[in-house]
């Protein structure tokens, strides 16, 4: 085969390696975020809830808006 066959095999192997790395990174990232209970983990929403509660207490948002936004944050 010569150099051409070896070069193609190396390129295919590199592509497979990159795809596996991307799959593992997505699996690790999504698995960690989904397994964490609300308010914990890498992306905590406690700061967003605090701000939402403050805005509601100041009367900046309505009851319906408050409930809708809070439900979205707690998903």
Rg (the chain; Cα; Å):
23
The domains of the chain are located at: 1-35, 39-75
pTM over 0.75: no
Q: What is the pLDDT of residues 4-36, one digit of tens each?
A: 667 788 889 899 999 999 999 888 877 655 555
Query: pLDDT grade, residue 42 (50/70/90)?
Result: very low
Nearest to 49 by CA among 66, 36, 25, 62: 66
Spell out a b/e string for 24-34, using b for 16 or more CB atoms within 10 Å of the CB, else e: eeeeeeeeeee
The more confidently predicted of residues 53 and 35 is 53
């Amino acid at each position: 085969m010569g150099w051409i066959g070896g070069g193609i095999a190396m390129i295919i192997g590199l592509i497979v390696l990159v795809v596996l790395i991307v799959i593992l990174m997505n699996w690790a990232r999504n698995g960690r975020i989904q397994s964490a209970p609300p308010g914990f983990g890498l992306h905590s929403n406690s700061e967003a809830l605090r701000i939402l509660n403050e805005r509601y207490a100041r009367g900046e948002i309505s009851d319906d808006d408050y409930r809708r936004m809070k439900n979205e944050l707690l998903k």
